[in-house]
Amino acid sequence: MYKFIKRLIDILVSLTVLILLLPLLLPIVIALKLTAEGEVFYFQKRIGLKNEYFDIWKFATMLKNSPNMGTGSLTLRNDPRVTPVGKYLRITKINELPQVINVLKGDMTLVGPRPQMKVDFEAFPEDIQKVIYDVPPGITGIGSIVFRDEEKIISDSELSPRECYVQLIAPYKGELEIWYQKNRSLYTDFMIIFLTAWAILFSKSELHFKVFKDLPKRSF
């Protein structure tokens, strides 16, 4: 029953978002078309349900050849590969909105572990890789909330960007997503959506640790 209701909510919310935000999305499309390299959407192979690949939709926020430049799949604070319009879209998370199309198609859900590129997926411990996508990937998730400052963590770390991700971020992010699988419910999903909006408005808030008191704690 949970899966049926969750899928129904995914479809209804995605359709509603597309219709209501159309006046916002059209100016963004025009702005992206007229700036940087003129790219509007960015399609990228990501790992999803049962570790199968799919194409994720995003607004283009970085230079086209970004995966082969600088820190590759990892983005730093003030990353020079991010376009001026893209910087605003990333801060507000508006760049993720086209993923409602992935939700409508069934590639993704509203709440679940974020779908990873292959190189970042392989940074998870092997036991996490085997189970993290036993549930569909989501537009937002508990890992997205806790790691809303991921770019800052990587930028400020004394480790190299890749070492920081592999040694610190990926193992803890994996723990968080396993916690989500064990605690999946409509209530948990609703609170994660609420906390996502809260984190955008209050970026330094730790409210998620108060709402979900049994979350694995961060040690860095």
Q: Is residue 210 part of a domain?
A: no
The answer as to whether 220 is a domain residue is no
Q: Looking at the 3D structure of the chain, how many domains does it have? A: 1
Q: In the 8-state DSSP scheme, what is residue 87?
A: H
150 lies in a domain?
Answer: yes
| Consecutive H or E run containing 153 | helix 150-156
Domain that holds residue 73: 2-205
What pLDDT was estimated at residue 216? 95
Q: Is residue 159 part of a domain?
A: yes
Minimum mean pLDDT range among 19-23, 70-74, 135-139: 70-74
Q: What is the pTM of this model?
A: 0.84
The more confidently predicted of residues 172 and 34 is 172
Q: Decide if 148 is inside a domain.
A: yes
Domain for residue 127, yes or no?
Answer: yes
* CA dist., res. 220 & res. 210, Å (int): 18
Regarding predicted confidence, which is higher, 75 or 96? 96
> Is residue 146 in some structural domain?
yes
Q: By the 8 A CB rule, do 145 and 204 touch?
A: no
Q: Per the domain annotation, does 214 fall within a domain? A: no
Q: Is 102 helix (H, G, I), strand (E, B) or coil?
A: helix
CA–CA distance, 81 with 2 (Å, rounded to integer): 41
**Structure tokens given for 189:** 């999903």
Arithmetic mean of pLDDT, 125-143:
96
In the chain, DSSP assigns E strands to: 41-47, 53-59, 109-111, 138-140
